[in-house]
């Protein structure tokens, strides 16, 4: 095993590393939900429009995204704080969904101006959405880590032996 891989494995065992691994896995899960939703909605013509199927698929994915980020990644329990948790989460989600709509606008143009198969069109629409959300990935890590930060416990001083020369 290389030194870099060993260092990565060791880092993933730290509290911060575990948190980031959970965040990445949560993002993989919600990306799969979004990707699958859009592929089904657009691919099977349940919602035939590129813009509406992309919007709907992404809105569907925000539900598990919030739950996974809040509960699993950052370990928050109880009621959500409206201004400290919900508003920033939904603001960031709507910003990324808006950006994905720009991508969907481009994909719609391509779909309407080429005579590709429905499978190719669906691949373009889902791939464009995946790319748009990939751009926001790092930004979300930075913002959500700040929003859902759980204060670390203060270190406890070790008991001092009587007559300890370091005193």
pLDDT band, very low/low/confident/very high, at 102 (cuts 50, 70, 90)? very high
pLDDT band, very low/low/confident/very high, at 152 (cuts 50, 70, 90)? low
User: Vertex 16, ends 11 and 138: CA angle to 5°?
Assistant: 100
Cα gap 49→129, rounded to integer Å: 14
Collapsed DSSP state (helix, strand, coil) of residue 73: helix
Q: What is the mean pLDDT of residues 18-36?
A: 92
Query: Distances in Å between the alpha carbon of 136 and those of 34, 67, 90, 96, 103?
Result: 14, 18, 14, 6, 13
Q: Over the chain, what is the mean pLDDT?
A: 86
Residue with the two structure tokens 């290389």: 2
DSSP secondary structure of 102-120: HHHHHHHHHHHHS---HHH
Q: What is the mean pLDDT of residues 56-78?
A: 92
Residue 74 has pLDDT above 60, yes or no: yes
Contacts of 152 (CB under 8 A, 6+ apart): 15
Helix ranges, 44-153 (H): 50-67, 87-113, 118-147
Per the model's pLDDT, the better-predicted residue between 162 and 138 turns out to be 138
Most confident of 21-30, 73-82, 113-122: 113-122
pLDDT of res. 51: 97
Per the model's pLDDT, the better-predicted residue between 143 and 70 turns out to be 70
pLDDT of res. 151: 57
Q: What is the pLDDT of residues 111-133, one digit of tens each?
A: 999 999 999 999 999 999 999 98
pLDDT band, very low/low/confident/very high, at 161 (cuts 50, 70, 90)? very low
Contacts of 61 (CB under 8 A, 6+ apart): 30, 31, 33, 34, 37
Does the pTM surpass 0.75? The reply is: yes
Cα gap 167→64, rounded to integer Å: 53
């Amino acid at each position: 095993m290389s030194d870099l891989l060993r260092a990565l494995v060791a880092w993933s065992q730290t509290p911060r590393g575990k948190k980031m691994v959970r965040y990445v896995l949560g993002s993989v899960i919600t990306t799969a939900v979004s990707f699958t939703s859009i592929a089904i909605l657009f691919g099977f013509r349940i919602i035939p429009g590129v813009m509406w199927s992309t919007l709907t698929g992404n809105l569907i994915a925000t539900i598990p995204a919030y739950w996974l980020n809040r509960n699993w990644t950052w370990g928050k329990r109880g009621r959500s704080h409206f201004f400290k948790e919900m508003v920033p989460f939904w603001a960031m989600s709507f910003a990324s969904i808006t950006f994905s709509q720009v991508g969907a606008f481009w994909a719609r143009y391509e779909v309407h101006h080429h005579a590709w198969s429905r499978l190719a069109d669906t691949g373009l629409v889902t791939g464009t959405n995946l790319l748009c959300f990939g751009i926001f990935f790092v930004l979300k890590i930075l913002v959500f880590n700040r929003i859902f930060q759980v204060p670390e416990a203060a270190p406890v001083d070790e008991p001092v032996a009587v007559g300890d020369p370091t005193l």
